[in-house]
Chain A
Amino acid sequence: MKILVCISHVPDTTSKINFTEGDTKFDTNGVQFVINPNDEFGLTRAMWFKEKQGASVTVVNVGGPETEPTLRKALAIGADEAIRVNTEAIDGFAVAKQLAKVIEDGAYDLVIAGRESIDYNGGMVPGMIAGLTNANFVNNCISLEVEGTNVTATREIDGGKETVTTALPLVIGGQKGLVEESDLRIPNMRGIMMARKKPLQVLEPIATETETTSVKFEKPAPKGAVTLVAPDNLDELVNLLHNEAKVI
């Protein structure tokens, strides 16, 4: 089985979020980048396929050279090879087209993407690449088993789960549940040493058009001060909720 894991390079969840260039660009200054958590669950699941059933695992990222440490980490965790499509990931559809090209050229059987990346939370890429490559698609995937070309997958639905059967070639939008947090791997020294010799191929992008452009980012309004109301003063509470907070 040939597996492709799509790896997004995202700010660590503890990063301070700021914008530059008139609130149109994310300020990367001083920000630590990590493997997108949803992708990391998928990468770990891919390692299990590799170790238990035999599979080759390629990781791919659409992005500039600054994303290579993230790919190198995935190699140190155990992926066999890495591909970076050398273009800035601005627009979901453009990214999906680049990935679709990589998927077609590499004839991957299983493409594991994250349900969404935690930076812009678009959540569009997995569905788009399934569409572009004519593959089956399971989103919000929390469990995945493959036998031959038969697939059993479980997806999270509002308040429950749904188990589906489908077949390869398949794209999933994965998340926690594929593996648990305690299953995630820290690269060990052997892995880091092996990663030195593994190929990290840089591909030039295909021509795409940017379909959407960010015009402005806004941060949530800062939290206001807390007003304390005595437990026996219900009228005051109702008054404040009604007239000041305007929520009732």
Chain B
Amino acid sequence: MINSQNLEALNIIIRMKPDLFEAPDYYNLDELLTEEHRLVRDAAREWVKRDVSPIIEEYAQKAEFPTQIVKGLAEIGAFGPYIPVEYGGAGLDQISYGLIMQEIERGDSGVRSTASVQSSLVMYPIWKYGNEEQRNKYLPKLASGEWIGSFGLTEPDHGSNPGGMVTNFKDMGDHYLLNGAKMWISNAPFCNVAVVWAKNEEGRIHGLVVERGMEGFTTPETHNKWSLRASATGELIFDNVKVPKENLLPNKSGLGAPLGCLDSARFGIAWGAIGAAMDCYDTALRYSKERLQFGKPIGQFQLQQKKLAEMITEITKAQLLAWRLGVMRENGTATSAQISMAKRNNVDMALKIARDARQMLGGMGISGEYSIMRHMMNLESVVTYEGTHDIHLLITGLDVTGLNAFK
């Protein structure tokens, strides 16, 4: 019988279950990494084992973001690893960023979402589109985790089509007056600052940094999610918010500005999804050797081997895609369409692996004792945000045909 005492005991068992993860590397891809890449990755991996795995199931069950891990995220460099050292970042390359995202998402996509948003959607635009005062004011505090940021692009009526947004600001002489609402915003409920995309009187999109405490700015939480439960999602509501003029990001405007941020975040997601897939594969592989049915380990049955063999094949392909994209992104040649392909492919790959892995664990696959169902549900958000699966396909379609299927 489940009473509160039993539940507490169960939680303790879940918490104490050791994280046995062993990362698959079927093609010795470690040889493509530098010594520093591996150091960065292994540190993130160890940290996830020590500080995320033991608590994450409980927080996901409670639908709560574990705020106690923010400091650790900052310490392992999850907040703006590629931001220059002078602004508090780590000055690392793109592959390091990808590897950190991979390891965090191996723990949980929700935690990775917080790190992605902070790095690519908040720090990145302030670094790339902001001025020196804005960089100095915000970046060090965001890098250290003292401040958490959110990114407001999606609106209730404008998701896949953000260019249609209605959130807007008016020039009032000494300040801007911001009105509108953003929906499905990660980190919104507790963010200290929000990078918000809104149209000016001429209908041109600009980024504004809105700070908590500005009058008329509220961030109600979105409840009852079955996905990304350990990440806080909410709305950003602007009711005649007076935004100081110095909070407008001056160096880029138009839809290309938020899309530039999405390129960076999608790149991180292409890596992150590999982490979730690795965790599902590793769990299913271990289980298949231990679980006996009909007098044999289930891993000895061809149907289960097919699943495992296809999983490791797909993970290996995804790793190569992500690594190559990392090289191109580092030397500045990766196109948005190439990033779309990796995001779409890798998230889809992870989702399929999560579903297959879940089946391989039978009844155990639905329980919180294993991470798989949590990954599976999380990935439903990951396949939706930052451009849905369909939208990325249309981007590839447009890129190869030159014909626009969006409109």
Chain A residue with the shortest CB-CB distance to B21 = A14
Q: Does B75 contact A (CB under 8 A)?
A: yes
Minimum distance in angstroms from A30 CB to a CB of chain B? 8
In the complex, what residues of B have CB within 8 A of residue A196's CB? 36
Q: Does A73 contact B (CB under 8 A)?
A: yes
Contact A186 B39 (CB under 8 A): no
Give the most central of B20, B39, B47, B77: most A CB within 10 Å. Answer: B39
Among candidates A68, A72, A73, A189, residue contacting B76 with C-beta atoms closer than 8 Å: A189
Q: Does B272 contact A (CB under 8 A)?
A: no
Contact B75 A69 (CB under 8 A): no
Contact B39 A72 (CB under 8 A): yes
Minimum distance in angstroms from A28 CB to a CB of chain B? 12
Contact A188 B75 (CB under 8 A): yes
Chain B residue with the shortest CB-CB distance to A29 = B28
CB-CB under 8 A for A189 and B77, given A68-B35, A69-B38, A76-B39:
yes
Q: Does A193 contact B (CB under 8 A)?
A: yes
Among candidates A69, A73, A193, residue contacting B91 with C-beta atoms closer than 8 Å: A193
In the complex, what residues of B have CB within 8 A of residue A11's CB? none
In the complex, what residues of A have CB within 8 A of residue B22's CB? 14
Q: How far is the CA of A238 from the CA of B47 in the complex (A)?
A: 50
Minimum distance in angstroms from A157 CB to a CB of chain B? 30
Q: How far is the CA of A72 from the CA of B38 in the complex (A)?
A: 11
Q: How far is the CA of A169 from the CA of B47 in the complex (A)?
A: 36
Contact B43 A69 (CB under 8 A): no
CB-CB under 8 A for A189 and B81, given A68-B35, A69-B39:
yes
In the complex, what residues of A have CB within 8 A of residue B77's CB? 188-189, 192
Contact B76 A188 (CB under 8 A): yes
Contact B35 A69 (CB under 8 A): yes
Q: Does B10 contact A (CB under 8 A)?
A: no
In the complex, what residues of A have CB within 8 A of residue B225's CB? none
The A69-128 residues at the B interface (CB cut-off 8 A) are 69, 72-73, 76
Report the count of interface residues on B (CB-CB < 8 A).
21
In the complex, what residues of B have CB within 8 A of residue A190's CB? 75
Q: Does B85 contact A (CB under 8 A)?
A: yes
Contact with B along A12-39 (1 / 0, CB 8 A): 0010000000000000001000000000
Q: Does B50 contact A (CB under 8 A)?
A: yes
In the complex, what residues of A have CB within 8 A of residue B46's CB? 186
Contact B50 A192 (CB under 8 A): no
Chain B residue with the shortest CB-CB distance to A68 = B35
Chain A residue with the shortest CB-CB distance to B90 = A189
Q: Does A177 contact B (CB under 8 A)?
A: no
Among candidates B35, B75, B81, B85, residue contacting A72 with C-beta atoms closer than 8 Å: B35
Chain B residue with the shortest CB-CB distance to A181 = B50
Contact B85 A189 (CB under 8 A): no
Q: Does B40 contact A (CB under 8 A)?
A: yes
Known: A72-B35, A189-B77. 16 other contacts (CB 8 A): A14-B20, A68-B35, A69-B35, A72-B36, A73-B42, A76-B39, A76-B43, A186-B43, A187-B43, A188-B75, A188-B77, A189-B43, A189-B81, A192-B39, A192-B43, A195-B39
Q: Which residues of A contact B (CB under 8 A)?
A: 14, 30, 68-69, 72-73, 76, 186-190, 192-193, 195-196
Please, could you name 17 A-B residue pairs with CB atoms under 8 Å apart, sorted by A? Answer: A69-B35, A69-B38, A72-B35, A73-B42, A76-B39, A186-B43, A187-B39, A187-B43, A188-B75, A189-B40, A189-B43, A189-B75, A192-B36, A192-B40, A192-B43, A192-B77, A195-B39
